[in-house]
Chains A and B, each alone.
Chain A
Amino acid sequence: MKVAFNDLHKAFESRIRLGIMSALAVNEALDFNALKEFLEVTDGNLATHLRALEKEGFIAVRKSFIGRIPNTQYAVTKEGNKAFQAHLKMLERIIKAQQ
């Protein structure tokens, strides 16, 4: 069986973006620092990837203040969840086709 590798969503090509989606898929919402801790990336790098996912409409951003410190929460959108699940299914099919 041949599986079209091109069906894998472009947005998930980067391992960091895939990591962001994985963490958000199992948490209601996470802030910037929590994501940074799980993914072990620099601020700038993480911000770039978060912006890309936001532009796709896969994650929602909510800015607020805790006391005087700005806090940004990220959560997966319905669309993002759908795309992520489809991506996982595709990875699964590719692995199965290989065996």
Chain B
Amino acid sequence: MKSPQDISRDIDQIRSIMERSTKFPSLAGWAGVMAGSYALAGAAAAHFLFGFRPEQDPARIGPDADLGSIGLTAAAVLLLSVLTAVLLTKRKADRQGESMWNTASRQLLSHMAVPLVTGGVLIVILHMYGLTGLAVPLTLIFYGLALFSAGRFTFREIRIMGVLQLLLGLIASVQLEYSLILWGSGFGLLHILYGALMYHRYDR
């Protein structure tokens, strides 16, 4: 026969296992702050160094845009952000005594991969049609969708960031002239804000 203490311990355990087996709690807030900083630096470099000026030619991304360098800058920002996130998350997971590669993190990645890969392929296709300018709002939109579906597997707050990113993306696709500024607000400022908030709330 079970005592009431036993039963409430049972219930605590049920709740904790349900949480742990579906949620990935180790995403580090600092990773968001760093990713946002890389994005801002990248956007500035693209604008001032490589002629990324959508306000002059919305469909392409500026009359004298150096597409190769802009592409490389984007790839560098992406790579640095992912590397930083993996490193910081690994450190946080180790500290929490969790493993970084578990069922929840695998689910998180596969649910993010579907919208991200779809968006990536679509952007390449649109570029082949000469609609390179649409790449900017579309990265925001598909990234927002990826974050929204990630919300089931990590902090729920990430869904709010997802919705904000895709709203910015929709605005940017109507106002292509402002797309770079809106991109910087989403990938730059929102990441920094979100990262700082998450750090404040969970990492200290």
Contacts and interface: CB of A to CB of B under 8 A. Distances in A.
Interface stretch (A44-52, A57-65, A91-99): A91-99
Interface size class of A (residues with CB under 8 A): 20 to 34
B43 to A, nearest CB: 40
A30 B4 CA distance: 31
Contact of A22 (B7, B9, B17, B99): B17
Contacts, number: 49
Of B4, B10, B99, most buried by chain A (CB within 10 Å of CB) is B10
B11 A23 contact: no
B11 A27 contact: no
Interface SS majority for chain A: helix
B103 A94 contact: no
Interface size class of B (residues with CB under 8 A): 10 to 19
Nearest to B102: A37
A23 B13 CA distance: 10
Given A30-B21, A38-B21, A5 B10 contact: no
B13 A26 contact: no
Contact of A38 (B4, B9, B20): B20
B13 A19 contact: yes
Interface of B: 1-2, 4, 7-11, 13-14, 17-18, 20-22, 99, 102-103
